[in-house]
């Protein structure tokens, strides 16, 4: 697993085919029927369910690193908790178009909602990879 977001970007730049970065930002939420203990843990910054909030695709030129990611997401209405990331490779020296990212992003959202996170890399707000499985 890549240890940092910037490390992932560097690895993607070394690929033979151009890459598109796919990202699904999530927020942490508590279910309505959460127990008092679950509420206390959530207020302490633990627990809750990760819910997809915003999905974005970028070329590596559009997003050079984690600092740029934080700057772009500062305008979100809600502070994201975890970003799930995947790469989409181009073909024949051409980067995938943004439209090519639609179906893979939908698959990522579905995987997050159903807890199938094994093919996604998760990063926290510091840019460090985290194990959410």
Total domain count, the chain = 1
- The CA-to-CA distance between both ends of the chain, in Å, stands at 13
Confidence of residue 34 (pLDDT cuts 50, 70, 90): confident
Q: Kindly tell me if the per-residue pLDDT of 111 is higher than 70.
A: yes
The burial of 71, by beta-carbon neighbours within 10 Å (0-12 exposed, 13-18 middle, 19 or more buried), is given as exposed
Higher pLDDT, 53 or 49: 53
110 near 122, Cβ under 8 Å? no
Query: What's the pTM?
Result: 0.88
pLDDT reported for residue 1: 53
Range of the domain at 75: 5-130
Which residues, including other chains, have CB under 8 Å from residue 88's CB and lie 6 or more apart? 19, 20, 21, 22, 57, 96, 100, 101, 104
Between β-strands 82-89 and 129-130, what pairing exists: parallel, antiparallel or unpaired?
unpaired
Which residues, including other chains, have CB under 8 Å from residue 107's CB and lie 6 or more apart? none
């Amino acid at each position: 697993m890549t240890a940092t977001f910037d490390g992932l970007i560097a690895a993607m730049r070394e690929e033979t085919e151009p890459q598109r970065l796919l990202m699904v930002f999530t927020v942490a939420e508590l279910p309505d029927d959460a127990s008092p203990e679950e509420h206390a843990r959530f207020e302490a910054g633990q627990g809750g369910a990760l819910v997809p909030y915003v999905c974005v695709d970028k070329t590596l030129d559009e997003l050079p690193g984690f600092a740029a990611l934080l700057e772009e997401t500062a305008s979100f209405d809600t502070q994201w908790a975890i970003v799930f990331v995947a790469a989409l490779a181009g073909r024949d020296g051409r980067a995938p178009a943004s439209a090519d990212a639609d179906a893979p992003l939908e698959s990522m959202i579905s995987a997050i909602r159903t807890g199938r996170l094994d093919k996604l890399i998760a990063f926290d707000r510091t840019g460090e990879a985290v194990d959410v499985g």
